Copies of this chain bind each other. A is one copy, B any other.
Amino acid sequence: MDSLSRDRLPERICIVGLGLMGGSLALALRGRIPILIGVDRDESACHLALERRIVHQATADLSEGVQQADLVILATPVRTILHALAELPRLRPEGCLVLDLGSTKQLICDAMEMLPEAFGAIGGHPMCGREAAGLSAARPDLYQGQTFILCRNGRTTAAIESAALHLIEAIGGRPLSLSPHDHDQVVAVISHLPYLVAATLLRQADETLWPVSASGFRDTTRLAGTDPYMIFDVLLTNRKAILVALERYQADMEELRILLETADDSALIKWLETTQTHYQAYRAHMKP
């Protein structure tokens, strides 16, 4: 651990999972890290990462990949992160720093707290993505200007917090601290519910309707292209909060349906007006 300092990025970083998120992180870090190691169980992703010089070393073997790293970044679907966290004490008994990029945080932070004291760990969730998956969809600017949530937990040391903040700075992200519980509640509404809404909408239109579709349908359904295995883990590991968000959405939609069905025109126009006002406030807030 002697290469670590509170004032700079770790010198040996291992990224586990060379998909969209891990691959984009490697691209954003390229040239700034003396030793960047990639781990992916898909050997073709390892070959591609080496061929494009995205990493210095690549392996399908988690054990081999994490051996030399000061900082291990877990960039796989959530349940694979949980599995790796359970393996780490055996693979690296001397400890290391650990950050993850998983989409839900309570179970991951709980698992981080189970790590031995030789580890320093913090939960992370960059609020960015694309509907395309895999290393070929990775982009060096994916994190640029995007919110990067950090979730402290009982295993969070000053060293891992500092390393995570330096990393976020290096890739142009904007750090935001949240508790794992608050994170999972918030993303259930702002990230997981939108997937369910988009996916259910997409399924309403078969191919006979596609020729009439335009940018509105395309944009509203974009999240339906999300990698099913990634979102499956999200739904399994944040089920309770997502169900609460979904039920509130359904209740609000039923209220709207009743306005339509009963032809309550004055209540309907008020609903439409307040929606546009809400939208304009949201977009004004989101402008840089």
Contact = CB atoms under 8 A, between A and B. Distances in A.
B228 A269 contact: yes
Contact of A197 (B197, B231, B245, B265): B197
Q: Please tell me how many copies of the chain the complex holds.
A: 2
Interface residues of A, number: 85
A35 interface: no
A interface secondary structure, majority: helix
Contacts of A195: 216
A178 B208 CA distance: 12
B214 A204 contact: no
A218 interface: yes
A259 B280 CA distance: 35
A214 B256 contact: no
Given A201-B249, A225-B276, A243 B214 contact: no
B257 A212 contact: no
Nearest to A270: B228
A253 B250 contact: yes
B252 A247 contact: no
Contacts of A131: 279
Nearest to A280: B225
A193 B204 contact: yes
Interface stretch (A3-11, A44-52, A89-97, A182-190): A182-190
B286 A257 contact: no
